[in-house]
Chain A
Amino acid sequence: MRFLLDDEQRAFARSLDGMLTAAGTPAAARAWAAGEHAPGLAVWRGLGTAGVFALAAPEEHAGVGPLPVETAVAFVELGRHAVPGPLVETVASVALLSRLAELGSPDAAERLLPGLVGGSAVATLTLTGVGVGTGTDAGVGTGTGTDAGFDAGGTDTGAGSATGPRALDPDAATVLLAAGDGEIRLAPGHTDPRATLDPTRRSAGLLPGGERLASGAHADTAARRARDWAALATAAQCLGVGYALLDRTVAYVRRRAQFGVPVGSFQAVKHRLADVLVGLEFARPLVFGAAVALAGGDRQAEVDLAAAKVATGDAAHQAARAALQLHGAIGYTAEYDLSLWLLKARALRGAWGGPEEWRGRVVRAVGEVRAAGGRVPSGGECRRG
């Protein structure tokens, strides 16, 4: 029992932090939002060199993984630096292709993983029939599934809705994966990208047809793996976004004076930020607990991934609301960099399944996990009076 990042993992976080600070990620994010992908793709190649995308792939396919804990470490930093692009989608695609290879279909992995792992290729992904929506926060009413079970053959209607699932940033991607409903295919193209609330995140539908990489049970199994990694990476990224919002706001309220004193000395301000820290500090261990469970193939991962997704979404959202309020009007401007994190916090909360989907999963999964451990008596036990 040592539930603590080791020196190497902390050094990895520090080196990514240093690299991303030097890279000037806010400027890259703004360019990305304007449709200029080159600065963002330069950062992307740096991430590939640093080994971020190798963490989800096994050694026989150019990777060093699977290492969910290190992946979470990396995605906290990616969130902290507001790095643009389909990061979660690429890591989830790497996990998906790696799983297909494990299941005896290594062709796609051999072809696609070297580029994705190295950072020269970018993937985007849609997942359907695995109980969560896609990475683009389409909302419950427009295509993400609600309350579908873990069974990939379940009743998730998100996949089949009229608009279809939306993929994040397909115009920046070279690998367009459409997974779920019993097959995995390389989509031949995408519809015109549309703006979302977060200008660095544009979405489009993937076109039907294209090369089929897998079908049947293997496709479902690989899609579920992708879903788990997407949830983990999104939660970690969201956590990093939340800490960035808190750090920037703390710095601001220490500096900003009104009535002759820093506004950070007012109790109303302090208490709001204290609550933000409480939210983030108690979401953080859920992310790493989920990563540890995923690494160990533990059934607890089902509860922990869902818990991490919900808690990080809430904590970052709370951080964003506090950050905007405590910055005042300057925080409400697009020009000020805070906006990058404010909008990303909102987007990530709904990406890869909204809070209600994942909360439903928590309640279902906790019974299954406990039942497997033989602990839960059935029935209510309310003692009246």
Chain B
Amino acid sequence: MDLDLTAAHKEFGRRARAWLAGHVPRRPLPSLETAEGFAAHRAWERELAADRWSVVSWPEEYGGRGAGIVEWLLFEEEYHGAGAPGRVSQNGISLLAPTLFDFGTSEQRARLLSPMARGETVWAQAWSEPEAGSDLASLRSTARRASGGWVLNGQKTWSSRAAFADRAFGLFRSDPAADRPHRGLTYLMFPLDADGVTVRPVGRLDGKPAFAELFLDDVFVPDEDVIGEPGQGWRIAMSATGDERGLTLRPPGRFLATAERLVREWRAHGDPSDTALRDRVADAVIGARAYQLYTWAGVARGAAGAPLGAESSLNKVFWSEHDIAVHETALDLLGTECGDWTEGYVFALAGPIYAGTNEIQRDLIAERLLGLPKGRR
């Protein structure tokens, strides 16, 4: 058992750090959830991609560096440690791309991945519907067979980044006669400016249009934009939501950097006699370190051949609760005028809801990891 990095890993981390030191904007970019900020973040993706730092774990042919998971985690530690901007392309990079690598065609990978890596195509997700949230398999939007493709109808909601994004991916009911709700679903991609698509931005808690409703009215999607076999969408999508809950969405570097930043704020602004608040600052450090070490343990288990299963539910509950607690602590320390922390706080509040609510995750933990009997949800 060790935590030693190889010389090659250390060198990779050093190179990332050096590049970031020379490129990370000195002043934070405007909020990602505004038109101006979205454009600025898109430009940042282009800058990352120009030197092959936007998708380090992808193969070189798609703009990556073929980095292994250890290198990727080190990159993320350096990235967040350097205070680099949030990733506007995250939905595409961490959810759609793994799906394309596993289930897409080589034509789809060749056509879609490089523009994604350069921030030219920013992707939104289209899972939830007004009547299908946690019970996603009850979704009603349809995909009807047409010559050379499919015709989409229905309504999607809570579509993150859709207010400013270019394209979306999601599940549609292609076989209304299927015997079970999660059968007969197909995974499709479509442009957000296609004929028949209406995007209605929705203000999140702070009013910023971080997500949107999508209305689909006879939207034609060619066969080339179906991922995997028609009718197999549920299985394909679930492989991606595992990624979303687990490692690929929330690498520990993000929480380590936030905890370090909170400690600095505490040193600058904290009242040393306020041990109650100091204890919560400590918990930010402890939680981030726990998450980092848990991740290294998961990497080691993965290298030993164990798949990431329901453990991703443990991950999701942990980081989402931790993220809120850290930001609550920051607000109690600094007040609510501090723009970076309040924006982070609003973002963190969504954590226990998206990517499968924490209630669903706790059901999965109890049933799949503890072996408790299934009951009514």
Q: Given A261-B375, A285-B293: A69 and B282 within 8 A (CB)?
A: no
Mask: chain A, 362-378; 1 = CB below 8 Å from B; 0 = not = 11001100100001111
CA distance A253 to B282 in the complex (A): 34
- Please name the residue on chain A nearest to B17 by beta carbon: A375
| Interface residues, chain B, with chain A CB atoms under 8 Å away | 1-6, 9, 28, 70, 81, 259-261, 263-269, 275, 278-279, 281-283, 285-287, 289-291, 293-294, 296-297, 299-301, 303-304, 311, 314, 317-318, 334, 337-341, 359, 361-363, 365-367, 369-377
Q: Are B299 and A3 in contact, CB atoms less than 8 angstroms apart?
A: yes
A258 at the interface (CB under 8 A from B): no
Residue A230 CB within 8 A of the other chain: no
Contacts of A264 in B (CB 8 A): 366, 372-373
Contacting pair B363 A270 (CB below 8 A): yes
Within A286-333, which residues are at the interface with B (CB < 8 Å)? 286, 288-289, 291-293, 303-304, 306-307, 310-311
Q: Given A285-B290, A289-B293, A362-B285 in contact, is the A2-B366 Cβ separation under 8 Å?
A: no
Picked from B268, B287, B293, B301, the residue with its CB within 8 Å of the CB of A379 is: B268
Nearest-Cβ distance from residue A374 to partner chain B, whole angstroms: 11
Question: Secondary structure at chain B's binding surface: helix, strand, loop or mixed?
Answer: helix
Query: Nearest-CB distance from A311 to chain B (Å)?
Result: 6
> Does residue A101 face the partner (Cβ distance < 8 Å to B)?
no
Which of A5, A278, A288, A382 interacts with B341 by CB under 8 Å? A382
A264 to B372: give the CA distance in the assembly, Å.
6
A residues 246-303 in Cβ contact with B at 8 Å: 246, 250, 253-254, 261-262, 264-267, 269-271, 273-275, 277-278, 281-286, 288-289, 291-293, 303
Given known contacts A282-B318, A362-B286, A3 and B296 CB-to-CB distance under 8 angstroms: yes
Determine the chain A residues whose CB is within 8 A of the CB of B359 once the complex forms: 267, 271
30 A-B residue pairs with Cβ-Cβ distance under 8 Å, sorted by A, are A2-B300, A3-B297, A4-B1, A69-B1, A147-B275, A250-B372, A253-B372, A262-B372, A265-B372, A267-B375, A271-B359, A271-B362, A277-B370, A281-B314, A283-B290, A284-B297, A286-B289, A289-B289, A307-B290, A310-B283, A359-B282, A360-B282, A363-B266, A363-B278, A363-B281, A375-B260, A378-B268, A383-B340, A384-B338, A384-B339
Residues of B within 8 Å of A384, CB to CB, are 337-339
Whether B301 pairs with A380 at a CB distance below 8 angstroms is no
Contacts of A311 in B (CB 8 A): 286, 290
Question: Is A335 in contact with chain B by the CB < 8 A criterion?
Answer: no
Q: Does A118 contact B (CB under 8 A)?
A: no
Q: Mark A188-204, 1 if CB is under 8 A from B, else 0.
A: 00000000000000000
Closest Cβ of chain A: how far from B326's Cβ, in Å?
14
Kindly identify which residue among A4, A293, A356, A379 contacts B279, using a CB–CB cutoff of 8 Å.
Answer: A356
- A385 near B3 with CB under 8 A, answer no
Check B373–A383 contact: CB distance below 8 A.
Answer: no
Given contacts A284-B294, A285-B294, A381-B264, list 10 more A-B pairs with CB under 8 A.
A1-B6, A264-B373, A270-B372, A273-B372, A307-B286, A310-B282, A310-B283, A370-B260, A380-B268, A384-B338
Tell me whether B293 and A363 are in contact (CB under 8 A): no
Contacts of B9 in A (CB 8 A): 1
Interface residue? A155 (CB, 8 A): no
Complex-state Cα separation, A264 to B367, whole angstroms: 10
Report A-chain residues with C-beta under 8 Å of the C-beta of B361. Answer: 274
Task: Using C-beta atoms within 8 Å of the partner chain, give the interface range for chain A.
Answer: 35 or more
Indicate if the CB atoms of B264 and A379 lie closer than 8 Å.
yes
Q: Which residue of B lies closest to A6 (CB)?
A: B1
Contact in complex: B375, A303 (CB < 8 Å): no
Asked if A359 and B289 make an inter-chain contact with CB atoms under 8 angstroms apart, the answer reads no
Interface presence of A105 (CB below 8 A):
no
A381, B266: Cβ atoms under 8 Å? no
Whole-angstrom CA separation of A306 from B279 in the bound complex: 12
User: Is there contact, CB below 8 Å, between B362 and A270?
Assistant: yes
Are A275 and B362 in contact (CB-based, < 8 A)?
Answer: yes
Interface residue? A174 (CB, 8 A): no
Nearest CB in chain A: distance from B78 CB, A:
11
Please measure, in the bound complex, the distance between the C-alpha atom of A291 and the C-alpha atom of B297, giving whole angstroms: 14
A125 to B230, CA, bound (A): 69
Contacting residues, chain B, for A9 (C-beta < 8 A): 1
Asked if A143 is at the interface (CB within 8 A of a chain B CB), the reply is no
Residue from A265, A282, A359, A378 with most neighbouring chain B CB atoms (10 Å): A282
Q: Which residue of chain B has its CB nearest to the CB of A282?
A: B290
Are the C-beta atoms of A4 and B297 separated by less than 8 Å? yes
Q: Nearest CB to that of B374 among chain A residues? A: A265
Q: In the complex, which of the residues A4, A291, A360 contacts B304, with contact meaning CB atoms closer than 8 Å?
A: A4
Residues of B within 8 A of A266 (CB): 375
Question: Would you call A380 and B265 a contact (CB within 8 A)?
Answer: yes
Residue contact B265 to A381, C-beta cutoff 8 Å: yes
B370: chain A residues at CB < 8 Å are 246, 250, 270, 273-274, 277
Residues of B within 8 A of A149 (CB): none
Q: Could you say which residues of chain B place their CB within 8 Å of the CB of A370?
A: 260
Q: Specify the chain A residue showing the minimal Cβ separation from B263.
A: A366
Q: Which residues of A contact B282 (CB under 8 A)?
A: 306, 310, 359-360, 362-363
The answer, among A3, A284, A366, A382, for a CB contact under 8 Å with B2, is A3
Residue of B81, B279, B290, B374 contacting most chain A CB atoms (<10 Å): B290
A291's nearest neighbour on chain B, judged by CB, is: B1
Q: Are B365 and A278 in contact (CB under 8 A)?
A: yes
**A190 and B283 alpha carbons, distance in the complex (Å):** 38
Chain A min CB distance to B213 (Å): 30
Contact in complex: B375, A363 (CB < 8 Å): no
Task: Say if the beta carbon of A353 comes within 8 Å of chain B.
Answer: no
Using Cβ atoms and an 8 Å threshold, which residues of chain B touch A283? 290
Chain A residues with CB under 8 Å of B314's CB are 277-278, 281-282
A129 within 8 A of B: no
Q: Could you tell me if A360 and B2 are in contact, using CB atoms closer than 8 angstroms?
A: no
Q: Top 5 A-B pairs ranked by shortest CB distance? A: A380-B268, A270-B366, A285-B293, A265-B375, A359-B282
Q: Tell me whether A383 and B263 are in contact (CB under 8 A).
A: no
